[in-house]
Structure formats: C-alpha cells, structure tokens
Amino acid sequence: MKKNNTLKKVFWLLLILLLLFILLKVLVEVFKWFRADTIQISILVLLIVFFLWMMGRDSKL
C-alpha cells in the first residue's frame, strides 16, 4: 500500500513537471510575440512561486 502511494506521488510530480515544461514553452512563444517587460516577468515569477508553494503544501499532506 505504501509503495503504491509513493508511485502515485512520483506520477503526479512528473505530471506537474510536464505541465510546467509546456507552460514554459508557451511563455517563451508568447515572449517572442510580445516584448518581455517587467510586468510580464513579475507575473511569471509570481506563477512560479505559487506552483512551488502548492507543491510544498501538498508534500506536507
């Protein structure tokens, strides 16, 4: 039972990393169209901090 739970956590972690990778690719494409000014960069930083906080909160549970 414990092994199955660990595999599930690894699966979710890989899924989240894949989604973040896709998001990063999309953001790079967006930055090609629009010049990356300070507002867009700050929004990107906030998104990364939010994702890290969510992952940290999930690991505590």
Query: What pLDDT is attached to residue 18?
Result: 94
Instruction: Report in angstroms the alpha-carbon separations of 52 from 2, 12, 19, 55, 59.
Output: 25, 14, 13, 5, 11
pTM score: 0.45
Query: What pLDDT is attached to residue 7?
Result: 87
What is the chain's length? 61
Region of 26 on the Ramachandran plot (φ > 0 left; ψ -120 to 50 alpha; else beta): alpha
Query: What pLDDT is attached to residue 16?
Result: 92
Q: What is the pLDDT along the chain (61 residues), one digit of tens a residue?
A: 567 788 888 899 999 999 999 999 988 887 776 665 667 777 888 888 998 888 888 766 5
Query: What pLDDT is attached to residue 11?
Result: 92
Domain ranges of the chain: 2-60
The closest of 23, 16, 15, 58 to 44, measured between CA atoms, is 23
